[in-house]
Amino acid sequence: MDWTLHCDVCDVDWPADEVRYRCSCGGTLDVKHPFGDRALPSLDALDARRASRNAVDRSGVWRFREWILPLDEAHIVTRGEGNTHLYRAPERLAQWVGLENLWLKHEGENPTGSFKDRGMTAGVSVARWLGMQDVACASTGNTSASLASYAAIAGMRAWVFVPEGRVAFGKLAQALAYGATTLSVRGDFDDAMRLVQDVCADEGIYLLNSVNPYRIEGQKAIGLEILQDLGWRVPDWIFVPGGNLGNNAAIARALLDLRDHGFVDRVPQISVVQAAGANPLARAWRSGAAIEALRADTLATAIRIGDPVSAHRSLRGLRQTNGRVDDVTDDEILDAKAHVDAAGIGAEPASCASVAGLRKAVLAGEVDRDAEVVCVLTGHVLKDPGLVVDYHMSQLDGHPTPFANAPIPVDATPSAVRDAIRRARGA
Ligand SMILES: *Cc1c(COP(=O)(O)O)cnc(C)c1O
Ligand SMILES: [Zn+2]
């Protein structure tokens, strides 16, 4: 072990092999790597690992282990996460967004259907390395789904804290199915988050929320893999939805490290997109003031977060990549989702905030029409089937559904079916 846990606020290092999530000042901790003293693989070597017979080499996280965490293979708990598709946006979608050169990195293609698996393989592997038997998180859903799966594979007990009644069905189903002990907290996500942090230390449970520095390390692989997918060409922009703000911080960190060590010559600009009802970062960005917690409300449950844990490291990454922050309304998210879904790709609501935010930025002239842009789609379309069906049945209270594709009721006779086909074709 050659890394430490670093507090950016007081510039203090903590040892990596003790259970610690925050500095004594309360600040979040970052894993600090001595890259200069570590043998770093060439880009060709990283490409060769993709075809390896070794599952650890092939993992879209552990392939980059020198950049993420050079943990001994014996500790690694992997499901072959990452290796998600980088789609060139189908033409109709690209036109709607207003860009020629648009890519979609579909993190919903991870083993449990969201990018959280990238952080979780790192977090659960560290739990094994530290000898922990129990792991826990508070979650709007995807983190708990991922934790439940990786803990089961590692033979650990998973404790999941979810806000009662506010978790999309697909995600709750996963936590239960993978065998996590699920505490349905009468409160919102921020309440669940506070509670899990309170009890983990006393109960000997390893906390795997994004306050855990190793989750962020695993998520760095998204940025690395995007560049690898592009043959190590650096796009102009990466658009990412923002909730707890760990993901954008992780992507920025990875790409800055790669540049600082001479593997690429520049970094993309990073744009965080929040939901207008859960936008503490966007507010702070616009006003120039410090981030203030708020009561969050949005249909995009994965980013319904009012008090983001990783605000500090997020802002740092945004400044270092000449980034930007914006927010979009739920109706803008729903429109973007309808287009992403109908393009045949599909993603959960929060994911589509990236596409909605990009369209807004293009229309406002803040992103050039000839820029090469990657939108991160953070979760799978089936994570929130309730919202999808309500949208297409036009049953989303208070929200217009201009792109609804409702099923057509039809009698069980050939003539009724023929009539329905003619009507649907507009004949
Ligand atoms: C967790 C999550 C987010 C938010 O990511 P942060 O790192 O918390 O900003 C966005 N979309 C989906 C689908 C998620 O699961
Ligand atoms: Zn500190």
Residue 218: pLDDT over 90 = yes
| 152 & 287 share domain | no
Res. 251 pLDDT band, cuts 50 70 90: very high
**Which domain CATH number covers 338?**
3.40.50.1100
Distance between CA atoms of 337 and 358, rounded to whole angstroms?
13
pLDDT at residue number 370? 96
| 147 & 240 share domain | no
pLDDT at residue number 77? 98
Q: How large is the angle between the packed helices 213-229 and 246-260, nearest 10 degrees?
A: 60
pLDDT at residue number 18? 86
- For residue 32, what are the domain limits? 4-65+113-213
Distance between CA atoms of 182 and 180, rounded to whole angstroms?
6
Residue 210: pLDDT over 90 = no
Residue 183: pLDDT over 90 = yes
| 182 & 286 share domain | no
- Mean pLDDT for 166-194 is 90
- Written as one letter, the residue type at 94 is A
Counting every residue, how long is the chain?
Answer: 427
| 256 & 335 share domain | yes
pLDDT at residue number 201? 86
Res. 1 pLDDT band, cuts 50 70 90: confident
> Atom of ligand 1 at shortest distance to CA of 241?
10
Average pLDDT, the chain: 96
pTM above threshold 0.75: yes
- Mean pLDDT for 84-100 is 97
pLDDT at residue number 196? 93
Res. 10 pLDDT band, cuts 50 70 90: very high
| 293 & 388 share domain | yes
- Mean pLDDT for 1-19 is 93
Choosing from 84, 114, 279, 355 the residue with most ligand 1 atoms within 8 A of its CB, the one to mutate for a pocket test is 114
Over residues 343-378, the pLDDT tens digits come to 999 999 999 999 999 999 999 999 999 999 999 999
Contact by Cβ (8 Å): 135, 157: yes
- Mean pLDDT for 108-117 is 98
Residue 112 to residues 210, 328, 382: CA-CA distances in angstroms? 17, 27, 11
Share of the chain above pLDDT 70, in %: 100
Residue 166: pLDDT over 90 = no
Instruction: For the chain, state the CA radius of gyration.
Output: 21
Total domains present in the chain: 2
- Mean pLDDT for 130-152 is 95
- Does a structural domain hold residue 401? no
Res. 121 pLDDT band, cuts 50 70 90: very high
- Mean pLDDT for 232-253 is 98
- Does a structural domain hold residue 200? yes
pLDDT at residue number 169? 85
Binding-site residues, ligand 1, Cβ < 6 A = 114, 116, 142, 210, 241-247, 302-303, 348, 350-351, 378-379
> Atom of ligand 1 at shortest distance to CA of 250?
7
pLDDT at residue number 190? 80
Distance between CA atoms of 321 and 257, rounded to whole angstroms?
12
Choosing from 244, 348, 383 the residue with most ligand 1 atoms within 8 A of its CB, the one to mutate for a pocket test is 244
| 365 & 263 share domain | yes
